[in-house]
Every structure is written in C-alpha cells, then in structure tokens.
Amino acid sequence: MRERPPGCKTVFVGGLPENATEALIVEVFGQCGDIIAIRKSKKNFCHIRFAEEFTVDRALFLSGYRMRLGSSTDKKDTGRLHVDFAQARDDLYEWECRQRMYAREERHRRRMEEDRFRPPSPPLIVHYSDHECSQLGDKIKDEAAFADAVRVLLTWVERGEVNRRNANNFYSMIQSSNSHIRQLMSQKAAHEKEMEEAKDKFKSALSGILAQFEQIVSVFHAASKQKAWDHFSKAQRKNLDVWRKQAEVGPLLFLQLFTHSIHLVKCSIVYILLCHVCQHYVSIPISPIFQPPTTFCEIHGVVLAG
C-alpha cells in the first residue's frame, strides 16, 4: 500500500470487472461516504474522490474482496478489488489551503495573546495651540487630571514650544504645578499618619498574642509541679509534656516570623527569653534593628542570652 498523501480524499480502485458500470461503482463505494467524482478507465480501474478524508479509510477495507455482476461467471463480469491511496492535485491544493488557514489563525491567536500582555501605549501628546494651552491650564489645576496634564506640559517645554508670545501662559502653568506640591505634602502627611496608626495596631496585637503565649506556658509549668503532676495518668503526662514543649517553641517561632519584617514596619516589639533555672519567660522590647538582647531573670537574676 502506498504512503498516504497529505489531505488524501481520492482512492485508486483496480481489479474491477470489465463490464462494471459507474452506477455499480457508486452503489458499492457510496456506502463508505459521499462521492464527489469518479474517473473510470477502460483498463478495469477507476479513481474515486470522496467528500471527506475519513471515508478513504472505509473504502480501503473493500480491498481484496471479489466482485461479480449478478450470477454470471464470465471473466468480464468478475474481478478482485484492489483499493489504495491515490495522489490528486485537488486534494493537495485543498490541504495546502487548510494549512495556510490554520497558520493564519495561529498567527492571529498569537498576535491577540501578545496584544493582551503588551503594556498599553501612552496616550498621544496633543500638539501645542492656544486653545490646547488654555485647556491644559485648567487641567493642571484639577487634581484628578494633574498627572496627565503635567506630562503634556513637560513634552511641550522639551519640544521648544515656549516663545516670547506664550511665555506668560507657560509661566502660569508652571506656577500651578508648583502649587500642587502643597497638596502632595498634605497627602504624604496623611499616609504617614495611617502608617503610624498601623504600627501601633501591629505592636498592640503582637504584644497581646505573645502575652497569651506566656500565660499558656505558665499553665503548663504549673501543671508540671508535683502537687498537680502526680494526679495525672501516664498518658496524660506524656501529652502534657509534648504540649508544653510545643508551647515553649511557639512564641519564639512566632517572633522569628515577625522579625523578618521589622525593616518594613519600624517599631519596637517584644522578645521572649527563657530562664533555664525556673523555666520562666521574660518579655523585653527590642529595637527595630534586631539584635539578640541580654537581660536578667527577675526571679533568679540569671543572665538570659537571646
């Protein structure tokens, strides 16, 4: 069997009975699919072109079958079918057209994808005119339109649009730009106030969390004393011991998590130190620049290193 040509819709049918008619060929191969054209030769073969490519595969299954016209055993009325792929210029042309269409669609899809991720182009700068200059003067005084307006003003000045006739207009627009600095300073102060409030809220929340950690650890230490410890079962003691160790590590891990962000929020926070004598936690504030501190246990006077 031949190699299948690209976009093949045409088959070669050999071994036809000599007396086979085109109507008989349509009757046999029309069951495979819609037939567009049949080219019959005088030498017991023909070419059949189907409407769809997949019907060619169905027609190939008829290869090898014997064909007989009616009940006649005459040699001209019998034959052994041989069906194979056939090359046709129409098939190749349609296949190439489809490939070009797919390529166009792919290029269009890629272009749409690139356009979707491409940053938007900056708006075009209008050319200077007395009318545009008058409108720009009003826009510069408008806080919502100031950013775009000052960009246009900068472009005009860089282009050399300033001359003796319109110098006063440009001076007025530059003066309005300078007046906008007061609004910017006011906005800056408002944002700084919000940041300070966020710092205070952060410190308050962190101190409360660490205080609760310390209280929980104190509960475990109290439960570990003999007067309470002896009343717990072996399994309960094991669980209490595991929970105590987890609670002791909790504040340190929690603190370490937040010390990594100290450079973002410059505020004092609380550091937890553990006395190895009494297993008592000591809370001390540290500076925004994290340095492991050293202090004394208030109970035993033991030096605690961070």
Judge whether 210 and 255 are in contact, CB under 8 Å: yes
Looking at the predicted structure, is the pLDDT value of residue 259 above 70?
no
pLDDT of 124 reads 80
- This prediction's pTM: 0.41
Measure the CA–CA gap between 248 and 299, rounded to whole angstroms.
Answer: 19
Measure the CA–CA gap between 210 and 250, rounded to whole angstroms.
Answer: 9
Judge whether 251 and 283 are in contact, CB under 8 Å: no
Instruction: Write out pLDDT tens, residues 107-122.
Output: 999 999 988 888 877 7
- For domain 10-94, give the fold: Alpha-Beta Plaits (3.30.70)
Judge whether 84 and 1 are in contact, CB under 8 Å: yes
The three-state DSSP-derived secondary structure of 160-201 is CCCCCCCHHHHHHHHHHHHHHHHHHHHHHHHHHHHHHHHHHH
Q: How confident is the model at residue 46 (pLDDT cuts 50, 70, 90)?
A: very high
The tokens describing 195, both together, are 């940041």
Looking at the predicted structure, is the pLDDT value of residue 270 above 90?
no
Identify the three-state secondary structure at position 85.
Answer: strand
Q: What's the mean pLDDT in 30-49?
A: 90
Q: What's the mean pLDDT in 48-75?
A: 89
pLDDT of 202 reads 85
Instruction: Write out pLDDT tens, residues 171-201.
Output: 999 999 998 888 899 999 999 999 999 988 9
Looking at the predicted structure, is the pLDDT value of residue 252 above 90?
no
What percent helix, strand, coil does the chain show, rounded to 5?
A: 50, 15, 35
Identify the three-state secondary structure at position 304.
Answer: strand
Q: What's the mean pLDDT in 91-120?
A: 92
Q: Which residue has the higher pLDDT, 80 or 73?
A: 80
Listed residue (279, 284, 178, 183) closest to 222, CA to CA: 279
Listed residue (143, 291, 295, 281) closest to 214, CA to CA: 281
